[in-house]
Amino acid sequence: MAIKQPLADLMRPEALDEMVGQRHLLAQGKPLYQIINQHIAISLLLWGPPGCGKTTLAYVMSKTLKIPFEKFNASIQNKSQLQKLIEKHPDESFVLLLDEIHRLTKPIQDYLLPYLENGRVLLVGTTTENPIMSIVPAIRSRCQIFEFTAISSEEIEPFLQRAAKEYLDFELPEEQAHLIANCGNGDVRVSLNVLDTLHAMHPDDLTDEVIREFAINQHFAFDKDATKHYDYLSAFQDSIEGSETDAALYYLAVILRSGDLESVVRRLKDSAALDVGLADPALVTQVITLANTALEIGLPRARTHVAMATMLLCLSRKSDSVLEAYKRAEKDAAHPSEHPMPDYLHDAHYKHAIEIRNAGNMFNMFDEKYQVAQQEYLPKDLIGHHYFVPRDNANDKRLYERYKKLFSYIYQRPFIAGDTSTVFDHGFKKKHN
């Protein structure tokens, strides 16, 4: 049986005016349009989500400049394979599409740099990562950097209709083009593959309902290794912190379309302690239980569990008093040798420990009133450094009252509350009111 050429390959543009999207770079008079149309030989770094035209631009560039085109993938190919590509063109320049350039190893980088310098290799490096953070300066400084963006459904729809007419021999209605374009979430290649698959499955009876059902059961256009992956996760957790339930649920739904339940669970657990904390410790336990249950049962049923955890976190009172208390303690802990602990707190398991330091010779707190021993625990010069500052919620305030009473009983001295940001000059930025 003959293998059918994928629709995405058949529709690959060969000229600038055939490309979809990136009008901010490829419209007449825009930067990339001028570079390529005026045959300016310059290496490029293109970054953006999958399927937005980065590879296609490299191909169009070679066609426009009328020079050979080669492909190299930094994540799966090695230096010897790159050498063979370059040796194929001993007396001419060529466009080298270097996919996943952020994974470039140092030996390959060192080998490639001279060819960039002498112009024999016209590099088009593509990546889903921000090149400022992921590409080494030696490569970055030799390239012009351009950001590609996800292509809108409105731009993809007519492209799908043209593909259906030219290569699949049928007219694709506007509504169906819209539904299929949305499946790609800005990725033209995914949208074309969906169209190709749906037409093969339903050559004569493709309906809106068929497309919707297909979309529900697929994971589209969400690369776990891409910058956008972390953007959505960040937006999800920030929305929880900001108590915006609708936004948190939206970003949760986007992430779960990719099947990335594990990252959601990690963020929920982190948010429970970080954002709710002492405001509602019982809720922290609830969220952790829901998150663990979600992992046990898996998707799709786990959607309810993580959505419930998300809503509980959003609707709860917030407190970062635990983190802020730790930060204050961390500041004092920067130079522990300057703050010797009481001898009786030292480890007492080794021979002669008691003779050397009186180690372990401390009161049994269970014999004491309130089960609290009246003895010093902090280094002497840190007694009175109070790290816990309550937030404006009932539970923080209740625990703070016990915190003060315990200090006064243990040290037999009054608790003196101060403005810790002034007393200790820690300068921590308060995020919650």
The kind and range of the H/E element at 121 are: strand 121-127
**Of the candidate ranges 5-14, 38-47, 279-288, 346-355, the one whose mean pLDDT is the lowest:** 346-355
Name the CATH topology of 227-315. Answer: Zinc Finger, Delta Prime; domain 3 (1.20.272)
CB half-sphere exposure, 113, CA atoms < 13 A: 12
Q: CA-to-CA distance for 36 and 97, rounded, in angstroms?
A: 15
pLDDT at residue 433 tops 60: no
Mean pLDDT of 113-138: 87
pLDDT at residue 240 tops 90: yes
Token pair 């819209």 is at which residue? 178
Domain(s) of CATH 1.20.272.10: residues in the chain: 227-315
Q: CA-to-CA distance for 140 and 136, rounded, in angstroms?
A: 6
Q: CA-to-CA distance for 399 and 203, rounded, in angstroms?
A: 67
Supply the pLDDT for residue 428: 33
Supply the pLDDT for residue 269: 94
Q: CA-to-CA distance for 401 and 413, rounded, in angstroms?
A: 15
Question: pLDDT digits over 251-282, tens only?
Answer: 999 888 877 888 899 999 999 999 999 999 99
CATH assignment of 153-216?
1.10.8
Supply the pLDDT for residue 368: 57
CB 337, CB 381: distance < 8 Å: no
Widest Cα–Cα separation across the chain? 93
Check whether domain 22-147 has CATH 3.30.1360.200, yes or no: no
Question: pLDDT digits over 364-394, tens only?
Answer: 655 556 667 778 889 989 998 999 999 999 9
pLDDT at residue 426 tops 80: no
Provide the 10 A C-beta neighbour count for residue 310.
24
CB 321, CB 277: distance < 8 Å: yes
CB 430, CB 421: distance < 8 Å: no
CB half-sphere exposure, 405, CA atoms < 13 A: 8
- Of the candidates 186, 161, 183, 156, the one whose C-alpha atom is nearest the C-alpha of residue 172 is 161
Question: E-strand spans in 81-209?
Answer: 94-99, 121-127, 144-147
Tell me phi and psi for residue 211, to 5 degrees: -65, -45
**Of the candidate ranges 12-26, 122-136, 168-182, 365-379, the one whose mean pLDDT is the lowest:** 365-379
Supply the pLDDT for residue 367: 54
Q: Give the strand pairing for 94-99 and 121-127.
A: parallel
Q: What is the DSSP letter of 123?
A: E
pLDDT at residue 317 tops 60: yes
Supply the pLDDT for residue 349: 60
- 47: three-class secondary structure by DSSP: strand
CB 364, CB 398: distance < 8 Å: no
Supply the pLDDT for residue 131: 84
Q: Give the strand pairing for 44-47 and 121-127.
A: parallel
Domain(s) of CATH 3.40.50.300: residues in the chain: 22-147
Token pair of 224 as six digits:
């776990």
Which pairs count as long-range contacts for 82-88, CB under 8 Å and 24+ apart, including other chains? Answer: 82/108, 82/111, 82/112, 83/111, 86/115, 86/120, 86/121
Supply the pLDDT for residue 354: 52
Mean pLDDT of 178-189: 84
Altogether, the residues listed in the chain come to a count of 433
**Of the candidate ranges 186-200, 225-239, 413-427, the one whose mean pLDDT is the lowest:** 413-427
Percent of the chain with pLDDT over 70: 87
The kind and range of the H/E element at 139 are: helix 137-140
Question: E-strand spans in 138-251?
Answer: 144-147
pLDDT at residue 18 tops 70: yes
Token pair of 364 as six digits:
């049994």
Domain(s) of CATH 1.10.8: residues in the chain: 153-216
pLDDT at residue 197 tops 60: yes
Token pair 């969400």 is at which residue? 222
